[in-house]
Every structure is written in structure tokens, then in C-alpha cells.
Amino acid sequence: MADPLDRELLSILVCPESHAPLVQVGDWLYSTDPATRRRYPIREGIPIMLIDESEVVEQEEFARVMKQAEEKATT
């Protein structure tokens, strides 16, 4: 599992498709845009911010990840 990215870096990275903020879950960066539901891999500590390398996740996974990110932000 990837170490958390630097907060400053994470604050400036956005989804290349929707320009939505990202949240990190394990080895993935998830776009917070519910219309696109993309996730981008982190390989050897480097975010791969290419649409061709991303995946579109199912609605259920997106909802779970966004809920988890919201709970983490409030604690």
C-alpha cells in the first residue's frame, strides 16, 4: 500500500478529465466528481495522472470511497 502523498501535493493535483479534487485511498487517487468516478494509480510513490491509465469505478465503490474520505476529514 502506498504511503500517503504529501498534503501540499495532494492539494494541487486534480482529475485531468473533470478538474475535481482527489482523495487518496491506498494506491489510488479517486476523483471526487460523481459524473466521471475515475481513479488514478500511484506507482512507486508517483501519481500517474493520465486518463488512459485511469479506471472508472462502479457507483457503489465511488460512494464507499467518498464516505470514507468524508469520515476521515471530520476526525
Which domains, from first to last, does the chain contain? 7-74 (2.20.25.10)
Contacts of 45 (CB under 8 A, 6+ apart): 2, 3, 5
| pLDDT score recorded for residue 72 | 81
Give the HSE-up count for residue 59: Cα atoms under 13 Å, Cβ half-sphere: 1
Q: Provide the β-strand partners of residue 29.
A: 24, 40
State the pLDDT at residue 3: 75
Specify the higher pLDDT residue, 6 or 21. 21
Block residue for cell numbers 487517487: 29
Q: Specify the pLDDT at position 1.
A: 61
In terms of pLDDT, which residue wins out, 66 or 6?
66
Confidence of residue 54 (pLDDT cuts 50, 70, 90): very high
Q: Which residue has the cell 479506471?
A: 55
Task: Please identify which residue in the block is written with the cell numbers 491509465.
Answer: 53
